[in-house]
Amino acid sequence: MMSLPETPLYFDYQATTPCDPRVVQAMAPLWTEMSANPHSTAHESGQQVAAMVEQARDSVAALIGAEGREIVFTSGATEANNLAIKGAARFALHHAPSSPRRIITVATEHKCVLESVHDLAREGFEPVILPVGADGLLDPQALREALILPALLVSIMTVNNETGVIQDIPTLARLAHERGALFHTDAAQAAGKIPLSVGNGEARVDLMSLSAHKMYGPKGIGALYVRRRPRTRLEPLFSGGGQERGLRSGTLPAPLIVGFGAACAIARQEGEAEAVRIAGLRDRLLSLLREALPGVSVNGSLEQRVAGNLNVAFPADRPEERTAQQLMAALPWLAMSTGSACTSAEVEPSYVLRAMGVSGAQAARSLRLGIGRYTSAADVDRAVAALARVWRDAPSLPLCRDAT
């Protein structure tokens, strides 16, 4: 008799989050009866949509303690990171030729940050990539030493997308400003999950990248915070009609922006209580996993970690080599992820885990489990039961499938 397919479970909240129904409801009118171009302010329909866009802009700004006019809408955090890093570098290159050419970042950053920094090397800039400790944290002393030579920009993410580790952004920003460098942070994995503030004084953030789909908003919309005072100057990535104060040309996607604003408003109202609930579920998940599979370990700091992230290494307690990719292939109904790149020829361990000193074998046994707004205790129990059963009891796991 054929067994019935399992009901899907979602444990991949760091990759993306489901759009909150309240966000969908807020966007709905802008797809149909309120579909005017927000830049067409010569008529009432355009004015109404423009007002909704500005209200959403204020909502995004309020989440991080900024002003609405400091928010530049983008297609997502990848574009925001590119605009922040390349925009700051190219403005300095063209308008302040005597500025430093060093750009400092961290080995565990998102690929779009690392690639942006490396791209600028072809334009005469010097990338400086700092290491992290076994806990995934950057030692402030390492940044202090890197800043002995003048730098233009320091870019350090607030929350790591693989490990959920939270960096000490105020301390790191202060060190950057003491040496005259701009400070940028990719906060895509932090917004809506931990309190954020762009701050003031030496501990301020000059540039901050955000993404709606990481916090129960729609895909395709993000934002870059650009500080007004002291003013942070950027060169736009592409040319056009000069929208978004000349920094990001193109017609604004009003429905997505309104959804982003709604997601930020929900996060401001409910985020603190939600984080407590999610942290409890994460602790339950880890406790049950360790009970079912003694030897499970956590990658990165457990204390300095966002509530919904659990990056774990499964035990090497069997004679045959097993990988997290094989575990995922055996449980296709359980959405989860790993930093490994699976191909028919090899499994390449996560560069983030390797930068933390995790061995290739342990990295290959590591899995990222994301918990979020719609996860229940019953979901956690069912996921642990399935993971433990397959890892411990199955006579063999399927081979790693070809990457596509």
Q: Is 257 helix (H, G, I), strand (E, B) or coil?
A: helix
Chain centroid, CA 381 distance in Å: 27
Is the omega angle on the peptide bond into residue 230 within 30 degrees of 0, that is, cis? yes
Q: Are strands 334-335 and 309-313 parallel, antiparallel or unpaired?
A: unpaired
Residue type, 368: R
The stretches of 32-107 forming alpha helices (DSSP H) are: 44-63, 77-95
DSSP three-state, residue 387:
helix
Comparing CA positions, the residue from 96, 112, 115, 67 lying closest to residue 235 is 96
**Is 264 an annotated catalytic residue?**
no
- Classify 298 as helix, strand or coil: strand
Entry field: residues in the chain: 404
- CA–CA distance, 89 with 99 (Å, rounded to integer): 9
The shares of helix, strand and coil residues in the chain, as percent rounded to the nearest 5, are 40, 15, 45
| Residues 6 or more apart whose Cβ sits within 8 Å of residue 162 | 14, 108, 311, 339, 350, 352, 353, 368
Measured distance between the N- and C-terminal CA atoms of the chain, rounded to whole angstroms: 33
CA distance 327 to 151: 44
> From the candidates 19, 112, 264, 342, which is the catalytic residue?
342
Give φ, ψ of 44 to 5 degrees.
-65, -40
* C-alpha to C-alpha distance for 40 and 77, rounded to whole angstroms: 27
Catalytic residue numbers, as ranges: 342
